[in-house]
A and B are shown apart, each in its own frame.
Chain A
């Protein structure tokens, strides 16, 4: 049985300067209520690890617009103009990571691996400062794991054990980020009792979840 909190309660212990991973792809499958709660709480100096800078008026994108993120690690920032502006002005540090490398680095962080070798980025600016290793005649870059203090994960439905079902294209980064975060908060649209979710349908094991955020927690 996991702690069941409101979104506001769930973000209460997040300190300024925290490293946060947020699942979602252009806000689809993002924990939007947790993002709003963190914005309302006034958290700042955050390091945000997420696929993209989202939209200016949606989810974690709002925190970027409000200047709460000092370091963004993402694969794409094009649809939130504030992200590019803050990057060019030096207000926010941005590390652009190829999407497949980003997700695999996070998977490594959650799976106890010391990194992985990828051909992606060889011969580009991405290889700067990285170890190049040849395997069977092909060059690979050594990419290291990524972890976070807090994970913002989104499910359509979960049970009180934290077992989640993430529908359709909302899975995206959520599953690996749930593994790679020290304290993983699962925001869910619907909360059911233990035993009500078919184990065959669970695509996010509750073992990774530390707290459940649900509006109607009582």
Chain B
């Protein structure tokens, strides 16, 4: 991956971290959302929930110190932080559906004006499956989407209406991309912040949905 792309992903992760309140329980999806873990603030207590059955998800262990009994939701060896705990999948998803996860950060294929999310399949092409995503977006108190603003063909991923099968209806709260910070509100998508290397016009051009531009646009 190019350095410029890495920098954009880092910017997304760093912006999302600012949305995490002290003492939050947070679940990070596979892919770009996982980067958020690298920038957690030292002055806040934030615990990560791992859907496969624990709270206190820690970094990958050093080589040779892997424990085959502790993996993350992608099956990779990880560690558990002091103060964490293990449980089974029935309890793990009671935590998720029951509204005990404060924030979930997930990737997306498409998001639309109503806060609908599509992120689990492209019919006939990509079928990774649902995993915990549907439960997470339904149950978590706040849903943040971390994604690139446009797809690999340069087409917008933020649309008037999703075209792919939905993961959940009207559950997305915030969209953070390499270009913009957008809040999903009753009045539609509100563009609140733009990345330092773009303009409002450029963001609007690359968005397939109507954006309400906040009167006081900030940069991130």
Contact = CB atoms under 8 A, between A and B. Distances in A.
A50 to B, nearest CB: 11
Contact of B90 (A88, A125, A175, A203): A175
B154 interface: no
B130 A76 contact: yes
Interface residues of A, number: 49
Interface of A: 25-29, 51-52, 55, 74-79, 84, 87-88, 94, 96-101, 103-104, 107, 118-126, 156, 166-176, 203
B89 A101 contact: no
Interface string B2-22: 000000000000000000000
Contacts of A172: 52-53, 88-89
A13 B168 CA distance: 42
Contact of B129 (A75, A119, A168): A75
Contact of B168 (A107, A123, A175): A123
Nearest to B131: A76
B90 A78 contact: no
Interface string B97-109: 1000000000000
A172 B132 CA distance: 13
Contact of A25 (B52, B67, B96, B129): B52
B135 A28 contact: no
Contacts of B67: 168
A76 B134 contact: no
Classify the secondary structure of B's interface with A: loop
Given A88-B124, A103-B90, A169-B54, A26 B75 contact: yes
B168 A169 contact: no
B177 interface: no
Contact of B130 (A88, A97, A167, A168): A97
B165 interface: yes
Contacts of A156: 69
B47 to A, nearest CB: 15
A175 B87 CA distance: 10
Contacts of A125: 165-166
Given A78-B129, A100-B96, A100-B97, A126 B134 contact: yes
Given A119-B97, A169-B70, A175-B90, A96 B138 contact: no
Nearest to B166: A124
Given A98-B135, A99-B51, A171-B87, A78 B97 contact: no
A52 to B, nearest CB: 7
